[in-house]
Chains A and B, each alone.
Chain A
Amino acid sequence: MQFLQQMINGITIGAFYSLVALGYTMVYGVLKLINFAHGDLFMWGAYVGLTGLNIVLALVGQTTPWAILPAIIIVMATVALAGVVVERVAYRPLRNAGRLAPVISALGVAFILQSLARNIFGASYKTYPNGVALAGGTSLGGARVSVMQIVVLAVSFLLMGVLYLFVQRTRIGTAMRAVSLDHDTSRLMGIDVNRIIGIVFLIGPGLGGVAGMIVALYYGSFDFTLGWVFGLKAFIAAIMGGIGNIPGAMLGGMILGIIETLGSGYLSPQWKDVIAYVILILILIFRPTGLLGERVAEKL
């Protein structure tokens, strides 16, 4: 039952990729910008989560998995706020500056966030306190499913489902879709474009931050480079599903997670990153619109 086991592990990792990919895809949708800073906001989620968790545990006075819930809320609020600040400071002044300038600015923000994390928290690996991550597990058709995996999947699917309904059913969601089609026309229809973009930068980094904390909990330890690799992978997932397409990002994340796990299980673990990058290159060469992409690869 090795295959089933690999699938379960793959879907878990895929759920992480999906959560992070949503941030990329939503920002690309409204701004046509590859938000390179997203991966590092995600990494900050892991650090803020650790700090928040320690504070909560100190306040409660005992180690309990329930401390995760207030910590998640702290992470969501902090990282979402950071996302909005990044947009205000580094992207909004460049709204009309062509395509290259915002991309470079985003790379710059990524470097600042990474350097801050390294200088504040140190370059060594950090671990989450013991007894917080849920232990135990159950077996399913011969494969082992840990409680953590069930929690991860439940939280991820819940967040993705809520987001999907939000974008499809609410007025703000409709406005978001309108802004991603055309800023000027949306403005003519009475949509406050800046407000919508602000909301996107609340939701995307908020989800990314939570993903960062869950990833760190799931793996147990992390360092300041977490954002770079995970961010790039999640970006690959977003491209795979068709960038700008929200269900596409979820699907892309799952597929990438599964391919990667199968690849490292049956081929060799040290080549799994290469597999992901090669998939990215192949997709961009042969189908730059992604699997569910409705967008045509645009001109610069």
Chain B
Amino acid sequence: MESLRTRLQKVNPLWWQVGLIVLAILLPLPMGDYYRSVLWRTGLYIMLGLSLNIILGYAGLFQLGHAAFYALGAYTCALLNIHFNVPILLTYPASVLVAGLFGYLLTRPILHLRGDYLCIVTIAFGEVVRLVLVNNLFGITGGANGLSSIDRPVLFGMVLRAPIYHYYLMLFFLVITIFAVQRLEHSRLGRAWMYVREDEVAAEAMGIDTTRVKLLAFVLGSGWAGLAGALYAGRITVISPDQSKFLESVIMFCIVVLGGTGSIPGVFVGTLGMVTLPEMSRPLKAWRDAWLGFAMVTMMILRPEGLIPSRRVALEIRGEKEKALPTPSTTDQAPVSGA
């Protein structure tokens, strides 16, 4: 007698994915504009979380200045649009390229750093980017007020103004992102990242070019954050250096670590807890920083691998202390090997 759970697990994963996409398409229809905006913001942070997940989750590099690349993407989009009248949708590739390029330039010299040292340098980079934007370098970044009157995206002659259009635009890119990230995770490069995360010396001994692999993680992750920044600029039409605030980087960091390092469903759960929940309840918003902090401390003490960790990370973090695997994951495994 098969339980419902095992039968559900036998369903082709493709159907799950199609079902989720259909659900995501239908979800905003009964909602008002406010909740559609909340959904859009959730999508934005899922995208940012997924981009950071490449760096932090797969390659295990502690990036605490990720918001800098998000801001760089937004500024690229805004500057191209304001000064050269490039349509917003066409600025997206440029935003990705610029953020990726900065990802390369900034992280190339610091790749040899590990752990908390890397943490500190990336915090410093994030702050430098923010201060450069505030100090109005070359007089083009608009100083502390940022840039405003950015055009809205235009698709087939239709100006995307209502939140619902932006939600679908976000959903389109999010689906692409998830597809790409999933492919990356199981690719040769993805396996190399995890190897580097688990044991860098051994990875190098196995012939993995660790410098190149880590650099690729930074460039891809930063570029993706740049795309999220451009999407933000097109939706909000006003951007400011606040996008590179340390708090933003910490939110992204928390999404990945608390949701479950290296796991895509984990990023979803992390975003719900870190962004959607505080957005929807006013009292929690005033105390959002305290909530973030509380979640970080308690999660680290009670469940350091995150809410929905990837199996490998859970093993890595728990493995040394507890010989027996947590029971849910062993039951998860049994039907798969039996099938």
On whether the beta carbons of B296 and A280 are closer than 8 Å, the reply is no
The residues in A between 25 and 46 inclusive whose CB is less than 8 angstroms from any CB of B are: 33-34
Distance in Å: Cβ of A260 to nearest Cβ of chain B: 13
| Chain A 262-300 near chain B by CB (<8 Å), digits 1 or 0 | 000000001101100110110011001000000001111
On whether the beta carbons of B128 and A274 are closer than 8 Å, the reply is yes
A97 to B287, CA, bound (A): 28
Residues of B within 8 A of A108 (CB): 292-297, 300
Q: With an 8 A cutoff between CB atoms, is B332 at the interface?
A: no
**Also in contact, A103 and B110, with CB within 8 A (given A108-B295, A274-B135):** no
Q: With an 8 A cutoff between CB atoms, is A78 at the interface?
A: no
A255 to B286, CA, bound (A): 39
Q: With an 8 A cutoff between CB atoms, is A253 at the interface?
A: no
**Also in contact, A103 and B116, with CB within 8 A (given A108-B292, A115-B290):** yes
Residues of A within 8 A of B296 (CB): 104-105, 107-108, 111
The 4 closest A-B pairs by CB, nearest first: A108-B296, A111-B293, A115-B290, A112-B293
On whether the beta carbons of A112 and B290 are closer than 8 Å, the reply is yes
Distance in Å: Cβ of A99 to nearest Cβ of chain B: 5
Q: With an 8 A cutoff between CB atoms, is A98 at the interface?
A: yes
On whether the beta carbons of B289 and A115 are closer than 8 Å, the reply is yes
Segment with Cβ contacts to A, from B39-47, B118-126, B180-188: B118-126
Residues of B within 8 A of A201 (CB): none
Distance in Å: Cβ of B176 to nearest Cβ of chain A: 30
A284 to B121, CA, bound (A): 7
Contact of A102 among B124, B289, B300 (CB under 8 A): B300
Q: With an 8 A cutoff between CB atoms, is A50 at the interface?
A: no
Residue of A nearest to B136 (CB): A270
| Chain B 23-46 near chain A by CB (<8 Å), digits 1 or 0 | 000000000000000000000000
| Chain B 110-154 near chain A by CB (<8 Å), digits 1 or 0 | 100111110111011101100110110000000000000000000
On whether the beta carbons of A284 and B117 are closer than 8 Å, the reply is yes
Residues of A within 8 A of B127 (CB): 232, 273, 277
On whether the beta carbons of A115 and B287 are closer than 8 Å, the reply is yes
A75 to B114, CA, bound (A): 36
Q: With an 8 A cutoff between CB atoms, is A94 at the interface?
A: yes
Contact of A284 among B110, B132, B135 (CB under 8 A): B110
Q: With an 8 A cutoff between CB atoms, is B105 at the interface?
A: no
**Also in contact, A34 and B135, with CB within 8 A (given A104-B257, A112-B290, A228-B246):** no
Q: With an 8 A cutoff between CB atoms, is A235 at the interface?
A: yes
Distance in Å: Cβ of A230 to nearest Cβ of chain B: 13
Residues of A within 8 A of B123 (CB): 232
Contact of A297 among B109, B117, B295, B300 (CB under 8 A): B117
Q: Contact residues of A with B, CB < 8 Å?
A: 33-34, 89-90, 93-94, 96-105, 107-116, 118-119, 228, 232, 235-236, 239, 270-271, 273-274, 277-278, 280-281, 284-285, 288, 297-300
**Also in contact, A90 and B297, with CB within 8 A (given A34-B120, A284-B113, A284-B121):** yes
A3 to B253, CA, bound (A): 43
On whether the beta carbons of A105 and B301 are closer than 8 Å, the reply is yes
Distance in Å: Cβ of A13 to nearest Cβ of chain B: 18
On whether the beta carbons of B287 and A278 are closer than 8 Å, the reply is no
Q: Contact residues of B with A, CB < 8 Å?
A: 62, 109-110, 113-117, 119-121, 123-125, 127-128, 131-132, 134-135, 246, 250, 253, 257, 286-290, 292-297, 300-301, 304, 317, 321
Residues of A within 8 A of B250 (CB): 107, 111
Chief secondary structure at chain B's binding surface: helix
**Also in contact, A112 and B124, with CB within 8 A (given A101-B300, A103-B116):** no
Distance in Å: Cβ of A39 to nearest Cβ of chain B: 11
Residues of B within 8 A of A99 (CB): 115-116
Distance in Å: Cβ of B241 to nearest Cβ of chain A: 13
Could you list 20 further interchain pairs (A-B, Cβ under 8 angstroms) beyond the known A110-B293, A280-B121? A34-B116, A90-B297, A90-B301, A93-B301, A99-B115, A105-B300, A107-B293, A108-B292, A112-B293, A115-B289, A119-B290, A236-B124, A274-B131, A281-B110, A281-B124, A281-B125, A285-B121, A297-B114, A299-B114, A300-B115
On whether the beta carbons of B131 and A103 are closer than 8 Å, the reply is no
Residues of B within 8 A of A33 (CB): 116
On whether the beta carbons of A105 and B120 are closer than 8 Å, the reply is no
**Also in contact, A116 and B290, with CB within 8 A (given A100-B62, A101-B304):** yes
Residues of B within 8 A of A90 (CB): 297, 301
A-B contact list, 24 entries, CB within 8 Å: A34-B120, A89-B297, A99-B116, A100-B115, A100-B257, A101-B300, A102-B300, A103-B116, A104-B300, A108-B295, A108-B296, A112-B297, A115-B293, A235-B120, A277-B127, A277-B131, A280-B120, A281-B110, A281-B124, A284-B113, A284-B120, A285-B121, A298-B114, A300-B114
On whether the beta carbons of A273 and B131 are closer than 8 Å, the reply is yes
A99 to B114, CA, bound (A): 11
Interface core residue of B124, B132, B300 (most chain A CB under 10 Å):
B300
A277 to B129, CA, bound (A): 10
On whether the beta carbons of B300 and A271 are closer than 8 Å, the reply is no
Residue of B nearest to A86 (CB): B297
**Also in contact, A277 and B124, with CB within 8 A (given A108-B295, A108-B297, A288-B113):** yes
Residues of B within 8 A of A285 (CB): 109-110, 113, 121
Residues of B within 8 A of A232 (CB): 123-124, 127
**Also in contact, A119 and B287, with CB within 8 A (given A108-B293, A274-B131):** yes
Residues of B within 8 A of A271 (CB): 131, 135
On whether the beta carbons of B292 and A94 are closer than 8 Å, the reply is no
A100 to B288, CA, bound (A): 23
A232 to B124, CA, bound (A): 9
